Amino acid sequence: MFTIKNWFNRYALDTLNRLQDFNKIKTKAYYATITNDSRTSDILTEVKKRNKLFYELLNKQKVKGVFSSPPYVGQIDYHEQHAYAYDLFGFDRKDELEIGPLYKGQGIEAKNSYVKGISEVLLNCKKYLINNFDVFLVANDKYNLYPLIAEKSGMQIINKFKRPVLNRTERDKSPYSEIIFHLKSK
C-alpha cells in the first residue's frame, strides 16, 4: 500500500545513502548553488556574492564543462514535483520561468518555446566556458529537438550515449532510454 510515510522513508533513506556516497568522493573543489533563471543569470556576479576566492578562480580559469539534465518538454510539473524543497529551503517559486512546463503541453508552440529556452541557457553558459568546453545534456529527446538546440546555441553534437532509465519515480514504469548528448563549440 502506498502511503506518504513509506514514500518519505524510502526517499529519506535514499538521500542519506547518496550523501554518504558523495562524502566519500567529495573534494575541496569550490561550488555554488544559484537559484536563478539560467537563461539570464550572471554566474560571476552570483558567485562573487557567495565566495570571493571561487569568483577569482572562476573569472581567471573559466569553466571546463557542464553536465545537466534539462527539463523535458511538457512532461513533468517540476515545481510541483519538488514543492517540498521550496518549502524546506525557503526558495521562491518561479513557475512562470520553467522551461518546457507540463501546462504548455507538447504541441508545436511548446516545442518552439522549449528550443528557445534551452538554447538561451546554453548561450548564457558559453560566456563562462573555456574555448574547448564539453557540455553533456541528459535528455529524453523523443521530438528530436536537440540538433536544433545545438545549432541555435552555436554548438554541435559530437556524440550520443544511450542510457537506460531503470529506477523511475513516476507511476508509469514503462522502460525507456535517455540520450546523453555531448556538445562542443562549432
pLDDT for the residue 150: 98
- The cell 554548438 sits on which residue? 155
**Lowest mean pLDDT, pick from 52-56, 72-76, 93-97, 163-167:** 163-167
Instruction: State the average pLDDT over residues 77-101.
Output: 88
Domain positions in the chain: 4-185
Instruction: Indicate whether this model's pTM tops 0.75.
Output: yes
Give per-residue pLDDT as tens, 102-116. Answer: 999 999 999 999 999
Instruction: State the average pLDDT over residues 168-177.
Output: 68
pLDDT for the residue 173: 67
Contact 115, 151 (CB under 8 A): no
Which residues, 6 or more positions from 38, have their beta carbon under 8 angstroms from its beta carbon?
121, 124, 125
Spacing of C-alpha 107 from chain mean position: 22
Q: Are strands 155-165 and 176-185 parallel, antiparallel or unpaired?
A: antiparallel
Q: What percent of the chain has pLDDT over 90?
A: 70
pLDDT for the residue 57: 96
Question: In a 10 Å sphere around its CB, with 0-12 CB exposed, 13-18 middle and 19+ buried, how is residue 45 labelled?
Answer: exposed
Cα dihedral: 74, 36, 171, 101 (round 10): -20
Give per-residue pLDDT as tens, 6-47. Answer: 888 998 999 999 999 999 999 999 989 898 999 999 999 999
pLDDT for the residue 78: 86
Top pLDDT among 172 and 146 is at 146
Helix (H, G, I), strand (E, B) or coil at 94: coil
Element (H, E) at 119: helix 108-126
Whether the pLDDT of residue 167 is over 70: the answer is: no
How would residue 169 be classed by pLDDT, with cut points 50, 70 and 90?
low
